[in-house]
């Protein structure tokens, strides 16, 4: 369309003036005006194309964003039960609402990562800070050195555990009691319990148990954290996770309250 318009304008500029005589200065003015019209038409056509492309991109972005928020419409949100957990045997200990964002994963954000953290402190310390609204961070799970598992945030929701919004939206965060520079922190019971939890998450969302999908906090882009540190045995850990995945899956107790600790109450082993 643009090419034919340009050609038509050039044909008009080569035409003779009135009376069949060669164009005078008036003809020069007419040719200039014709070229100006062609230039304006082409600019509008090209500019319109840019607007269409940009508008399409905006529309696609808006549609993607809408798809992530549709569940907020009445009747679309998944039913929830107070004190429910996603992992069988976990104890529910609610994190402060300021430390996570309500979502509807994996309907709005695909889950394809587990991020391994180390508390740099005790199990009780982790629960205390994640229940503190001023902490501005929280993980889905905390594992004690004896293997006990607490869930603080539903997997449906986005926990603020990596410092990176995209990684938060696509991952489940698991904290482990202990210190990165103390290898004795990572007990057999902790490794076994954590591996069972990670295997359940991998199975639930259908991603492999490998180092691309099970990562340390240190591997999140832009982080200044070093956990789980040099003493975390990745080879041993992934071997345990894969062994769990080879087992027949047992019925999960998702959405079932288990030893829930209501907000405002101190969970076991947590200072009040």
pLDDT at residue 203 in the model? 97
Helix (H, G, I), strand (E, B) or coil at 194: helix
Q: Of 8-12, 17-21, 255-259, which has the strongest mean pLDDT?
A: 255-259
Which of the two residues, 114 and 9, has the higher pLDDT score?
Answer: 114
47 CB burial (10 A radius; 0-12, 13-18, 19+) = exposed
pLDDT tens readout for residues 53-92: 444 444 555 555 556 665 566 666 777 898 999 999 999 9
Is pLDDT of 151 > 70?
yes
pLDDT at residue 72 in the model? 63
pLDDT tens readout for residues 25-48: 444 455 445 554 444 444 433 344
Contact 122, 177 (CB under 8 A): yes
Provide the phi-psi class of 206: left if phi over 0, else alpha when psi is between -120 and 50, else beta: left
Is pLDDT of 10 > 50?
no
Contact 103, 156 (CB under 8 A): yes
What do you get for the CA distance between the two ends of the chain, in Å? Answer: 75
């Amino acid at each position: 369309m643009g090419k034919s318009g340009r050609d038509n304008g050039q044909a008009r500029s080569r035409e003779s003036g009135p009376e069949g005589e060669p164009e005078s200065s008036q003809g020069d003015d007419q040719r200039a005006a014709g070229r100006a019209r062609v230039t304006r038409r082409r600019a509008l056509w090209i500019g319109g194309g840019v607007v269409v492309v940009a508008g399409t991109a905006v529309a696609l972005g808006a549609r993607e964003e809408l798809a992530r928020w549709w569940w907020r419409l009445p009747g679309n949100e998944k039913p929830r039960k107070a004190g429910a957990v996603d992992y069988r045997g976990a104890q529910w200990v609610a994190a402060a609402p300021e430390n996570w964002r309500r979502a509807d994963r994996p309907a709005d954000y695909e889950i394809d990562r587990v991020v391994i953290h180390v508390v740099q402190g005790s199990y009780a310390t982790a629960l205390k800070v994640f229940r503190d609204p001023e902490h501005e961070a929280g993980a889905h799970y905390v594992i004690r050195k004896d293997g006990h598992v607490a869930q603080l945030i539903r997997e449906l929701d986005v926990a603020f555990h990596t410092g990176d919004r995209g990684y938060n939206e696509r991952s489940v965060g698991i904290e482990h009691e202990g210190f990165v520079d103390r290898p004795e922190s990572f007990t057999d019971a902790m490794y076994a319990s954590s591996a069972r939890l990670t295997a359940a998450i991998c199975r639930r969302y259908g991603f492999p148990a490998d180092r691309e999908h099970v990562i340390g906090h240190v591997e999140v882009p832009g982080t200044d954290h070093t956990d789980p540190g040099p003493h975390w045995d990745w080879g041993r850990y992934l071997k345990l996770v894969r062994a769990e995945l080879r087992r027949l899956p047992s019925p999960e107790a998702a959405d079932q309250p288990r030893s829930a600790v209501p907000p405002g109450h101190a969970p076991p082993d947590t200072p009040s």
